[in-house]
Amino acid sequence: MQRIFILTGAGISAESGLRTFRDADGLWEGHKVEEVATPEAFAANPELVHNFYNARRSQLLTVEPNLAHHALVQLQRKWGDRLTLVTQNVDDLHERAGMEKVMHMHGELLKQTCTNCGDVSDCADRMSIESQCEACGEIGCVRPHIVWFGEMPLLMDQIHSKLMQCELFISIGTSGVVYPAAGFAEEARRHGASLIEVNLEGTDISPIFDEHLQGAATDTVPELVKRLTDTL
Protein backbone atom coordinates (compact mmCIF):
# COMPACT_ATOMS: atom_id res chain seq x y z
CA MET A 1 0.00 0.00 0.00
CA GLN A 2 1.39 3.38 -1.04
CA ARG A 3 2.30 5.94 1.58
CA ILE A 4 0.03 8.92 0.95
CA PHE A 5 0.67 12.54 1.93
CA ILE A 6 -2.36 14.85 1.73
CA LEU A 7 -2.10 18.63 1.92
CA THR A 8 -5.36 20.51 2.36
CA GLY A 9 -6.15 24.21 2.05
CA ALA A 10 -9.10 26.54 2.42
CA GLY A 11 -10.87 25.04 -0.62
CA ILE A 12 -11.76 21.87 1.30
CA SER A 13 -13.70 23.89 3.87
CA ALA A 14 -15.32 26.29 1.36
CA GLU A 15 -18.45 24.19 0.89
CA SER A 16 -18.88 24.05 4.65
CA GLY A 17 -19.31 27.82 4.50
CA LEU A 18 -15.84 29.13 5.38
CA ARG A 19 -14.48 31.58 2.86
CA THR A 20 -11.16 30.94 1.19
CA PHE A 21 -8.42 33.56 1.41
CA ARG A 22 -8.08 34.58 -2.19
CA ASP A 23 -11.62 34.58 -3.53
CA ALA A 24 -12.79 38.10 -2.67
CA ASP A 25 -10.69 40.82 -4.27
CA GLY A 26 -7.70 39.95 -2.14
CA LEU A 27 -9.69 40.63 1.01
CA TRP A 28 -10.28 38.08 3.72
CA GLU A 29 -13.67 38.67 5.38
CA GLY A 30 -13.33 42.35 4.52
CA HIS A 31 -9.77 42.80 5.79
CA LYS A 32 -6.44 43.00 4.05
CA VAL A 33 -4.32 40.11 5.21
CA GLU A 34 -1.62 42.43 6.59
CA GLU A 35 -4.21 44.13 8.85
CA VAL A 36 -5.00 40.93 10.71
CA ALA A 37 -2.47 38.21 9.95
CA THR A 38 0.97 39.56 10.79
CA PRO A 39 2.84 39.94 14.08
CA GLU A 40 3.18 43.65 13.25
CA ALA A 41 -0.60 44.01 13.00
CA PHE A 42 -1.02 42.34 16.39
CA ALA A 43 1.59 44.60 17.99
CA ALA A 44 -0.01 47.71 16.49
CA ASN A 45 -3.67 46.86 17.12
CA PRO A 46 -4.17 43.75 19.26
CA GLU A 47 -7.86 44.47 19.83
CA LEU A 48 -8.63 44.50 16.11
CA VAL A 49 -6.72 41.25 15.60
CA HIS A 50 -8.37 39.57 18.62
CA ASN A 51 -11.81 40.68 17.41
CA PHE A 52 -11.11 39.35 13.94
CA TYR A 53 -10.15 35.90 15.25
CA ASN A 54 -12.99 35.94 17.81
CA ALA A 55 -15.38 36.41 14.89
CA ARG A 56 -13.69 33.57 12.92
CA ARG A 57 -14.00 31.33 16.02
CA SER A 58 -17.73 32.11 16.45
CA GLN A 59 -18.31 31.45 12.77
CA LEU A 60 -16.47 28.13 12.96
CA LEU A 61 -18.95 26.91 15.56
CA THR A 62 -21.80 27.44 13.07
CA VAL A 63 -20.42 25.23 10.27
CA GLU A 64 -20.00 21.49 9.83
CA PRO A 65 -17.51 19.21 8.07
CA ASN A 66 -18.54 18.35 4.51
CA LEU A 67 -18.38 15.23 2.31
CA ALA A 68 -14.73 15.87 1.44
CA HIS A 69 -13.66 15.91 5.11
CA HIS A 70 -15.70 12.75 5.73
CA ALA A 71 -14.25 10.96 2.70
CA LEU A 72 -10.69 11.53 3.96
CA VAL A 73 -11.65 9.86 7.24
CA GLN A 74 -12.70 6.76 5.27
CA LEU A 75 -9.31 6.81 3.56
CA GLN A 76 -7.50 7.10 6.89
CA ARG A 77 -9.47 4.15 8.28
CA LYS A 78 -8.14 2.00 5.42
CA TRP A 79 -4.62 3.44 5.24
CA GLY A 80 -3.87 3.95 8.94
CA ASP A 81 -0.40 5.33 9.61
CA ARG A 82 0.50 5.16 5.93
CA LEU A 83 -1.59 8.27 5.43
CA THR A 84 -0.36 11.69 6.56
CA LEU A 85 -2.70 14.68 6.61
CA VAL A 86 -1.18 18.13 6.76
CA THR A 87 -3.55 21.06 6.65
CA GLN A 88 -2.97 24.76 6.20
CA ASN A 89 -6.43 25.31 7.64
CA VAL A 90 -6.87 26.61 11.16
CA ASP A 91 -10.41 25.24 11.44
CA ASP A 92 -11.16 21.94 13.18
CA LEU A 93 -13.38 20.43 10.48
CA HIS A 94 -11.02 17.51 9.74
CA GLU A 95 -11.07 16.56 13.44
CA ARG A 96 -14.82 17.00 13.74
CA ALA A 97 -15.28 14.62 10.79
CA GLY A 98 -13.27 12.06 12.79
CA MET A 99 -9.76 12.46 11.36
CA GLU A 100 -6.89 11.58 13.67
CA LYS A 101 -3.38 13.03 13.86
CA VAL A 102 -4.12 16.14 11.80
CA MET A 103 -0.98 18.24 11.40
CA HIS A 104 -1.94 21.93 11.52
CA MET A 105 1.07 23.67 10.01
CA HIS A 106 -0.54 27.13 10.27
CA GLY A 107 -1.90 26.71 13.79
CA GLU A 108 -5.41 26.27 15.17
CA LEU A 109 -8.19 28.76 15.69
CA LEU A 110 -9.40 27.05 18.86
CA LYS A 111 -6.04 27.36 20.61
CA GLN A 112 -4.02 30.17 22.14
CA THR A 113 -0.31 30.68 22.69
CA CYS A 114 1.21 32.58 25.59
CA THR A 115 3.97 34.91 24.43
CA ASN A 116 5.34 34.97 27.98
CA CYS A 117 5.76 31.26 28.77
CA GLY A 118 5.09 29.59 25.39
CA ASP A 119 2.18 27.51 26.71
CA VAL A 120 -0.31 26.38 24.04
CA SER A 121 -3.81 25.63 25.32
CA ASP A 122 -7.44 25.51 24.27
CA CYS A 123 -8.83 29.02 24.16
CA ALA A 124 -12.04 30.54 25.43
CA ASP A 125 -14.66 31.73 22.94
CA ARG A 126 -13.29 35.25 23.04
CA MET A 127 -9.73 36.39 23.56
CA SER A 128 -8.82 39.94 24.46
CA ILE A 129 -5.91 42.05 25.63
CA GLU A 130 -7.09 41.24 29.15
CA SER A 131 -6.99 37.46 28.74
CA GLN A 132 -4.89 35.62 31.28
CA CYS A 133 -2.56 32.71 30.62
CA GLU A 134 -3.65 29.76 32.74
CA ALA A 135 -0.11 28.36 32.86
CA CYS A 136 1.92 31.39 34.01
CA GLY A 137 -0.87 33.70 35.20
CA GLU A 138 0.36 36.62 33.08
CA ILE A 139 -2.36 38.96 31.79
CA GLY A 140 -2.35 40.42 28.28
CA CYS A 141 0.09 38.01 26.69
CA VAL A 142 -2.08 35.40 25.00
CA ARG A 143 -2.47 35.48 21.26
CA PRO A 144 -4.27 33.30 18.72
CA HIS A 145 -2.33 30.09 17.97
CA ILE A 146 -2.07 31.08 14.33
CA VAL A 147 1.05 31.23 12.17
CA TRP A 148 1.05 34.73 10.75
CA PHE A 149 2.90 35.96 7.68
CA GLY A 150 6.60 36.21 8.43
CA GLU A 151 6.44 33.44 11.05
CA MET A 152 7.73 29.88 10.77
CA PRO A 153 5.06 27.22 10.12
CA LEU A 154 4.76 24.45 12.70
CA LEU A 155 5.89 20.80 12.56
CA MET A 156 8.20 21.35 9.60
CA ASP A 157 10.72 18.62 10.53
CA GLN A 158 8.02 15.97 10.73
CA ILE A 159 6.41 17.25 7.54
CA HIS A 160 9.67 17.07 5.55
CA SER A 161 10.31 13.57 6.76
CA LYS A 162 6.80 12.44 5.68
CA LEU A 163 7.25 14.17 2.31
CA MET A 164 10.46 12.26 1.68
CA GLN A 165 8.73 8.94 2.37
CA CYS A 166 5.46 9.38 0.47
CA GLU A 167 4.71 7.64 -2.81
CA LEU A 168 1.54 9.59 -3.57
CA PHE A 169 1.12 13.31 -2.84
CA ILE A 170 -2.40 14.78 -3.01
CA SER A 171 -3.09 18.51 -2.81
CA ILE A 172 -6.70 19.52 -2.12
CA GLY A 173 -8.17 23.03 -2.34
CA THR A 174 -5.03 25.11 -2.06
CA SER A 175 -3.92 27.87 -4.39
CA GLY A 176 -0.24 26.92 -4.17
CA VAL A 177 0.98 30.46 -3.63
CA VAL A 178 1.94 30.45 0.06
CA TYR A 179 5.33 28.91 0.87
CA PRO A 180 6.59 26.63 2.26
CA ALA A 181 3.38 24.60 1.64
CA ALA A 182 3.39 25.56 -2.04
CA GLY A 183 6.78 23.80 -2.37
CA PHE A 184 5.68 20.46 -0.89
CA ALA A 185 4.50 19.00 -4.22
CA GLU A 186 7.89 19.68 -5.81
CA GLU A 187 9.69 18.19 -2.81
CA ALA A 188 7.57 15.02 -2.95
CA ARG A 189 8.18 14.75 -6.69
CA ARG A 190 11.96 14.98 -6.20
CA HIS A 191 11.68 11.96 -3.92
CA GLY A 192 9.76 9.98 -6.54
CA ALA A 193 6.12 10.50 -5.55
CA SER A 194 3.22 10.75 -8.01
CA LEU A 195 1.21 13.94 -7.64
CA ILE A 196 -2.55 14.58 -7.80
CA GLU A 197 -4.07 18.05 -7.52
CA VAL A 198 -7.76 18.51 -6.61
CA ASN A 199 -9.10 22.02 -7.14
CA LEU A 200 -11.97 23.99 -8.64
CA GLU A 201 -9.50 25.43 -11.11
CA GLY A 202 -5.91 25.27 -12.29
CA THR A 203 -3.31 26.83 -9.99
CA ASP A 204 0.16 28.35 -10.48
CA ILE A 205 1.69 24.97 -9.65
CA SER A 206 -0.72 22.71 -11.61
CA PRO A 207 1.89 21.97 -14.32
CA ILE A 208 4.05 19.91 -11.98
CA PHE A 209 1.19 17.53 -11.07
CA ASP A 210 0.70 14.22 -12.87
CA GLU A 211 -3.07 14.52 -12.62
CA HIS A 212 -5.47 17.38 -12.02
CA LEU A 213 -8.99 16.60 -10.77
CA GLN A 214 -11.06 19.65 -11.46
CA GLY A 215 -14.25 20.27 -9.50
CA ALA A 216 -15.72 20.95 -6.12
CA ALA A 217 -14.02 19.07 -3.28
CA THR A 218 -17.30 17.50 -2.11
CA ASP A 219 -17.55 15.74 -5.51
CA THR A 220 -13.93 15.09 -6.38
CA VAL A 221 -12.55 13.98 -3.01
CA PRO A 222 -15.14 11.20 -2.42
CA GLU A 223 -14.53 10.02 -6.03
CA LEU A 224 -10.78 9.98 -5.50
CA VAL A 225 -11.10 8.15 -2.18
CA LYS A 226 -13.33 5.54 -3.83
CA ARG A 227 -10.79 5.06 -6.61
CA LEU A 228 -7.94 4.63 -4.12
CA THR A 229 -9.82 2.24 -1.87
CA ASP A 230 -11.08 0.19 -4.87
CA THR A 231 -7.46 -0.45 -5.89
CA LEU A 232 -6.63 -1.99 -2.50
Q: How far apart are CA 57 and CA 61, in angstroms?
A: 7
Active site residue 50: no
Catalytically annotated residue among 70, 104, 106, 145: 106
| Phi, then psi, of 68 in degrees rounded to 5 | -70, -45
> Considering beta carbons, is residue 69 or 162 the nearer one to ligand OAD?
69
Query: Segment 131-150, which members bind ligand OAD (CB under 6 A)?
Result: 147
Largest CA distance in the chain: 55
Residues in CB range of 188: below 8 A, 6 or more apart: 5, 163, 166, 169, 195
Using CB positions, name the residue nearest to ligand OAD. Answer: 11
Four-point Cα dihedral 142, 148, 151, 154, nearest 10? 80
Residue 175 makes contact with ligand OAD by CB under 6 A? yes
**Nearest approach, Cβ of residue 132 and ligand OAD (Å):** 25
Residue 200 makes contact with ligand OAD by CB under 6 A? yes
- Is residue 92 within 8 Å of 133, Cβ to Cβ? no
> Considering beta carbons, is residue 165 or 206 the nearer one to ligand OAD?
206
- Is residue 124 within 8 Å of 131, Cβ to Cβ? yes
Residue 178 makes contact with ligand OAD by CB under 6 A? yes
CB atoms within 10 A of CB 145: 22
Residue 14 makes contact with ligand OAD by CB under 6 A? yes
> Considering beta carbons, is residue 23 or 167 the nearer one to ligand OAD?
23
- Give the footprint of ligand OAD on this chain (CB under 6 A): 9-11, 14-15, 20-23, 33, 37, 88, 106, 147, 173-175, 178, 199-201, 203, 216-217
- Residues with a known catalytic role: 106
